[in-house]
Structure 1
Amino acid sequence: MWITVVSLAAWCWLLLCQGFFWRTDVRLPSHREPDSWPSVCVVVPARDEAAVLPTSLPSLLAQDYPGRAEVFLVDDGSTDGTGELARELARRHGGLPLTVGSPGEPPAGWTGKLWAVRHGIGLARTRDPEYLLLTDADIAHAPDSLRTLVAAARAGGYDVVSQMARLRVESLWERLVVPAFVYFFAQLYPFRWIGRKGSRTAAAAGGCVLLRAGMAEKARIPDGIRHAVIDDVALARAVKGAGGHVWLGLADRVDSVRPYPRLHDLWRMVSRSAYAQLRHNPLLLLGTVAGLALVYLVPPAAVVVGMTGGGTAMTVAGAVAWAVMAGTYLPMLRYCRQPLWLAPLLPFTALLYLLMTVDSAVQHYRGRGAAWKGRTYARPDAVPDEG
């Protein structure tokens, strides 16, 4: 009974005191278009992305941007013809100028994506842009995406404007897992806190990050975060650490086109970085598992135990906590255009995330942690410092 009461109290606190993380109304701030448009370079790291590039790259090339802009796609050792396909798409669709580069294999201490981003930023700096748009190869942008990002950054004085792309939600497992991914992310990093000056909460969404070029140099991006597996959060922390202003919100017209049709695909996506999020710390892992169980698994368990002889008080307390949980999940389901009856199933999804997190730790200690597209990365403290 006491455990159930603690779980209910935790949900009351999350509902009211965690930055209203469950609301989905944090969108691009209102802005007016600037009198003059700054130059922008778009940097796209890509490794074996031939399957999604025909959808995503033309959307970047077709940007309706009034100022000078061009795209730099960095082919990070692809084996599926990503670079040549990008050139062919540029010839076929036209639009913004495209440069395709290749950085070679990353040296020790660098993740592949950030090594590719470094190469892309190096190419972009020859054009002396005022802003850099860092976007993933699986992200499709509406034609006005770049101009709205730049206008919002200029109007708000932001060094980073980032949008959490609307993820694909079509298969059964995507319906169960994907909306919860964004929900849990917002719970860890409430968007309202991120945009508040003076707040220590920092995060960005790596699929869409508009970064002021001067701040990138000041914050030593990407060199200062070269080993970060969760590079978007590390980038935002570096910018805030350098005195910058960060904004993060949900996107309306920026979409991920990468499918995750099977549970196995989603499991790999989450488990590859979950233990890195916990800084490879066993105590943080134990605390996370206990916290997930207390907050998400206790309410339905209390209802079952209460109805089978545990008492009315336990049933009511568990039901109220479960109802608050489901109620906070409803806005995210609406945003993801999913049926609302999925809300009471959030404890099952949380159990999946708990198991994915444990598996991430197991894979790490087996030497297969933080593995992605044929590369396995060492934990940061195992990498010699180049400085």
Structure 2
Amino acid sequence: MIIGVPKEIKQNESRVALTPAGVTEMLNHNHTVYIQTQAGEGSGFSDEAYKDAGAQILPNIEAIYDIAEMIIKVKEPIASEYNLIKENQLVFTYFHFASSEALTKAMIDNKSICLAYETVEKADRSLPLLVPMSEVAGRMAVQEGAKYLEKPTGGRGILLGGVPGVKPANVLIIGGGIVGTQAAKMAAGLGANVTIMDISLPRLRQLADIMPANVETIMSNQYNIAEAIQHSDLIVGAVLIPGAKAPHLITQDMLKTMQPGTVVVDVAVDQGGCIETCKPTTHEDPTYVIDEVVHYCVANMPGAVPYTSTVALTNATLPYAIQLANKGWKKACQDSKELKLGLNIVQGEIVYQPVATAFDLPYTPVDTYLKGEAVV
């Protein structure tokens, strides 16, 4: 198969979808890999490194989309890429369709095959291609939150871990999944008083067993959230419903009950955010203030640490990308329930129910496209 890796063009996005090591693995399976020039520079991988690994370098994004049968990316295509994507071209990337009707309709219109990292799902309900970036984002949420708690950046002027004789900050984490767990570990390690909320009692029991003494677990519900935010210095939104829009657990009215200078970091921003006042921001302009509450809502947080993020992402995506390249998308999805769940849009039809529901658009069962003989 001919595989194309374009340079990411979303603002301040320095990750790349494939490392030179990943290129070598693809070539070992007799596939051809084209890399757009300078695609890996932001992550520390030169064109020469890709050439040495066996990739061919193309001069622009148009050439990549024109030649490739499968596009491997990191972030969702942006408007300038919509018309570059061809009918029946497989695009393997993070899409987060439920947060963008424009993107959803554009991919319907170009009749491509959209396989989303974030909805590839194992039998145990884990999301293997979301995990590495969730781990990065969870840890970064506390790192960035600690910075914006400083007075010069608009925060309350509180050191997250305190010092002897001065209480540490109170950190509230809503969601006990990968993001929330990693955020709790970071905040606890820095010495903060941490509260982590989740709607699953078994998950709270697990967290209570593994977390240090300065982390307490509380059932997530409207009353408990409303109470906890009044005394929290840093709040991390870490809620995920796979492929669907995140629920608003903190409303705008609730901001008025928070202390001035409180910082909220909404890691769920890619899926619409779990804080009502959340709107996507960039690393260039990461925060804004509403009702004296500092909002950090960068939509591609792991892009700030592109080397770590790129290597972690390729470690996770490469085995699936090889399956797709070896078998073609249809046979690979017939053989793998995990990949099958990654299909969101196929040849102009939405085949993932939560995306159709988000915009009240028609839904076609994915098996409609997976019946019969596979085409490689």
TM-score relative to the length of structure 2: 0.31
TM-score relative to the length of structure 1: 0.30
